[in-house]
Amino acid sequence: MSKLIDGSGIIAANPHKDFAKITDCGYSIWFAVEQLTTVARTYTVSVRHQGADVATATFSEMEFNATISPQHIEVAVEHRRKGVATAVYLFVEIVADKILENLWDPDRSTDRQSSDLSQSLGARGMWAKKDRPFGKYPKWWKK
- Delineate the domains of the chain, giving CATH numbers in brackets: 5-128 (3.40.630)
Read off the pLDDT of residues 60-78 as tens digits, 9 standing for 90 and up: 988 778 889 898 999 999 9
Q: How far is CA 105 from the centre of its chain?
A: 15
Q: Are 90 and 19 in contact (CB under 8 A)?
A: yes
Predicted pLDDT of residue 59: 94
For residue 107, what pLDDT band results from cuts at 50, 70 and 90?
A: low
Predicted pLDDT of residue 91: 97
Share of the chain above pLDDT 90, in %: 55
- Please list, in sequence order, all residues whose beta carbon lies within 8 angstroms of the beta carbon of residue 93, skipping any fewer than 6 positions away: 68, 99, 100, 134, 135
Predicted pLDDT of residue 105: 66
Question: Is 111's pLDDT higher than 60?
Answer: no
Lowest mean pLDDT among 68-72, 84-88, 97-101, 103-107: 103-107
Among 39-43, 60-64, 122-126, the range of highest mean pLDDT: 39-43
Q: DSSP for 18-41, please give it.
A: HHHHHHTTTEEEEEEEEE-SSSEE
Q: Are 46 and 55 in contact (CB under 8 A)?
A: yes
For residue 130, what pLDDT band results from cuts at 50, 70 and 90?
A: confident
Predicted pLDDT of residue 115: 47
Predicted pLDDT of residue 50: 95
For residue 139, what pLDDT band results from cuts at 50, 70 and 90?
A: low
